[in-house]
Structure 1
């Protein structure tokens, strides 16, 4: 079980890194192709004896840039996947911000009760959106609506939107894990990020370096 947990944690990080890298690479190639072809036209105008060679390269690059109209749509789709996949990752790594200054003033038993109530609210939220988004995605697959600019690759809106119920299902699992840790006294709160504590720690580190 621990090996499976470690594998899934590594997979989450690798998949998020892949999405970021893919978004960056597609955008980079598109921007380069849209700007570099003018350089070869300029070189062709400057050195007329090699103009045919440079113009041919410029035409090729401009043609590739015009064919990459799908790049913006793909980047948006990847970004959507990154958001919904990253929600659960943020729950696991305590990446979501929390306002619990008042809660921390209460005794630990009270903190645990409040954390359980908050966790139940999060479970209900994730469950409702998972069920609703599943029905929505199912309808998209039945309708067979093609994704704009990505239909040439056979991609439909359902293929892009399927990450929504998957993402909320992962969030549901993460909060179930948190609830279990709270019930078994291995955790007190939801494990949210504390900006004030992090800022204080950063200030102390800077002061020590001086």
Structure 2
């Protein structure tokens, strides 16, 4: 069970890295192609008076890159799709690492037993919310599957809208699973709160660290 959990955690991290890298690569290629053709046009213009053949050669290269840019209308749609997958897959990852910001300043003024009760109630609300959106989004994806509508600018590659949108029920299902894990730890008294990020505490630690260095 521990090995399976470790494998899933590593897969989760690897997928997030892949999505970020793919977004960066697609954007980089598009920006480069969108600017490099002007360089060859400038070189062609430089040789225009001296050698017409050389000038036409560089112009043709510029035309090639310009055509490549014009055919990359799908790049923006692909980047949006990857970003959507990153957001909804990252929801569960954020719960796992405590990356979501906790609004619990008043809660922390209470005793540990009260904090634990409040955390259990909050966790139940989160479970209900995640379950509701998982079911609702699954019905939405089922409708898109039946409609078989192509995704904007990606339909030419056989990508349909439900291919992109399926991350919504997957993401909220993973969020539900992560909160189930938190709920189990709360019931077993292995933790007090939801384990969310505390920006104020982090800022205080950073301030204390900088002060000790001085």
TM range (shorter): over 0.9
The farther-off stretch of 52-61 and 111-120 is 52-61
Report runs of 4+ in structure 1 exceeding 3 Å deviation: none
Matches of residues 37-56 of structure 1 in structure 2 within 5 Å? 37-48=37-48, 49=51, 50-56=54-60
2:197 pairs, out of 188, 193, 196, with: 193
Q: Report SS of the residue matched to 2:171.
A: helix
Q: 2:176 aligns with which of 143, 156, 172?
A: 172
- Give TM-score scaled by structure 1 length: 0.98
Structure 2 Cα separation of the partners of residues 80 and 160 of structure 1: 8
CA distance in 2, matches of 1:87, 1:131: 17
- Equivalent residue for 1:138? 142
Tell me how far apart the structure 1 counterparts of residues 207 and 82 of structure 2 sit (CA, whole Å).
36
Instruction: Please report the TM-score for the alignment, with normalisation by the length of structure 2.
Output: 0.96
RMSD: 0.7
1:206 aligns to what? 210
Deviation at 1:52, TM superposition (A): 2.2
2:28 counterpart of 1:22? no
Secondary structure at the residue paired with 1:190? Answer: coil
Quote the residue 1:32 is aligned against.
Answer: 32
Offset, 1:208: 1.8
5+ residue gaps, structure 1: none
2:19 and 2:62 map into 1 onto residues whose CA distance is 30
Q: Specify the SS of the correspondent of 1:98.
A: coil
C-alpha distance in 1 between matches for 2:69 and 2:105 = 52
Count of matched residue positions in the alignment of Structure 1 and Structure 2: 210
Deviations 1:65-109 (A, max 9, x none): 000000000000000000000000000000000111111111111
Helix, strand or coil for the counterpart of 2:102? coil
Counterpart CA distance in 2 for 1:12 and 1:167 is 11
Distance 1:81 1:8 in 2: 17
Which residue number in structure 1 is paired with residue 160 of structure 2? 156
Supply the distance in 1 between the matched residues of 2:118 and 2:63 (Cα, whole angstroms): 65
Residue 152 of structure 1, CA deviation? 0.7
Consecutive unaligned residues of structure 2, counting only runs of 5 or more, are: none
- Which residue number corresponds to residue 11 of structure 1? 11
